[in-house]
Structure 1
């Protein structure tokens, strides 16, 4: 557990550095969560099979846009993810190994000229130490499904630090808003990604939105009173992945040249509750993967 303790200490120290000594009073500004699962998409239980993310925003009073100074507005992120071979009971010899990944992160949002900048640090823990494989088995047994046979061959215990940043800019066209973005990451997976999202309606206007790691969907963290009614969105991106600890080179995996994500979703927002559902196509991540997959995303918001 010493590596874990050192990484948690590093995360705490970096969080402290991000907060200037003269910072104004800070408070909890909002929180969001997003559930993704391929059962909500193509109905299978494979590859990028499921994840659950909780984001907590902390900083000075929210004015509908990110602050000018980096480190004022922080998002604390907790995330669990399951990645699996195509079959949990009889995996192919050339399929990927099971991954249970638990991530803690801190990210800051700020303006950079006319653009929006997000940058931060994530600490990802893998292997049996996360307990996620056993949790999945418990859920399967509860619903009368067969237990997984791949946990003895999962990615081993380890911890990885990842640095990432995204630069984006919102362009308004009447009731539609286009947000092109550029994202880079070095760590548990190292990549460069370019893409865009197009929203029809008020979803996300005046809110703090975080981008989901698996699907690329933007989900609400700080609520906006401007967001009302029904909205629709489409988006897509392409990434060049340079390395992945989830697909170890020593296991003989050859990464695909690029990864593509195509997504669409709808959001309904009332006075005290809201619902988002999105669907994303994920292309193959390694050459032996037989096809892409569809993953669903769900966020239910209740306000009291």
Structure 2
């Protein structure tokens, strides 16, 4: 008997919700939060295509957690995100360029480890369209800051309102190379506003990625630490790459757009942990996402964490 994706998503949401409800029975506590912001302006200093996104994570689990537990549902992450895509020219877009879109996403995730594998499973919802007010807020900010604004025709032609159930799964295997380096291949699948399957790797060097709970930014793929006060002071580096097959995209609707056969990302990053906090900057190359996109782009990701 076949099971529909919608039923699988509903079952995962109910499982995660049941874990959250039983938090008091597991001596759960708030373990920390993290935010990473990705912007084309901090990458190749432009404002186009993958223009802006944020990912914010709040983690709950057993007090004293320093690494992934064995049990499904022992760690619950609440993840919120925004995403803005625009044409390359927001005043007079070229024919065939992508339409603007503002998206919101929210989900519950659980992280656990089995047999050397790190798993992250999540479910929730993703929304796009004028009702999210994401593009309207960006336009107001650009107006105040003196940046280029979205032309009225671009706002009027943005991707329409839609809400999709979201499901996400990632599996990664950490291979230690000496004391300072970890090679971490991974595979992930996602359904929501976009449906895709992806494989890739991260090469992590330094104390910043030895333990804790690592999430992944939606747009850039940059890994980031959620747990607070888990990293040792020092400098860490990362290099990674991945390749995705995108099966459908509400942000590039058919038949107006033809998706590229493969979507590639190549990234590097520098993390500095100190006594008062940490600073991360990462640079990611994103290959074209639709066949009419003339070239790829570089986006920059920033994470700043302060200790209180």
TM-score (normalised: structure 2) = 0.91
Compare 221-230 and 292-301 and name the one that shifted more: 221-230
Residue 297 (structure 2) pairs with residue 293 (structure 1): yes
Instruction: Name which of 271, 274, 285 aligns with 1:270.
Output: 274
Deviation at 1:87, TM superposition (A): 0.9
Q: Which residue matches 1:147?
A: 149
Q: Which residue matches 2:65?
A: 63
Deviations 1:182-238 (A, max 9, x none): 101122111110000011111122221110000000111103444221111100000
- Structure 1 pair 139–11 and aligned structure 2 pair: CA distance change class (3 A): farther
Deviations 1:33-67 (A, max 9, x none): 00110100001100011012210001112432211
Q: Which residue matches 1:51?
A: 53
Compare 207-216 and 278-287 and name the one that shifted more: 207-216
Note the residue ranges of structure 2 that are not aligned, 5 or more in a row.
1-9
Instruction: Name which of 178, 190, 194 aligns with 2:199.
Output: 194
| SS of corresponding position for 1:165 | strand
- Structure 1 pair 283–116 and aligned structure 2 pair: CA distance change class (3 A): same
Q: Which residue matches 1:4?
A: none
Q: Which residue matches 1:244?
A: 249
| SS of corresponding position for 2:207 | coil
Note the residue ranges of structure 1 that are not aligned, 5 or more in a row.
1-8
Aligned residues: 295
Instruction: Name which of 206, 214, 228 aligns with 2:211.
Output: 206
**2:109, 2:52 → 1: CA distance?**
22
Aligned residues of 2:38 and 2:302 also touching (Cα < 8 A) = yes
**1:210, 1:21 → 2: CA distance?**
23
Deviation at 1:274, TM superposition (A): 0.6
**2:248, 2:76 → 1: CA distance?**
28
Q: What's the RMSD between the two structures over aligned residues?
A: 1.8
TM-score (normalised: structure 1) = 0.93
- Structure 1 pair 246–17 and aligned structure 2 pair: CA distance change class (3 A): same
Deviation at 1:288, TM superposition (A): 0.2
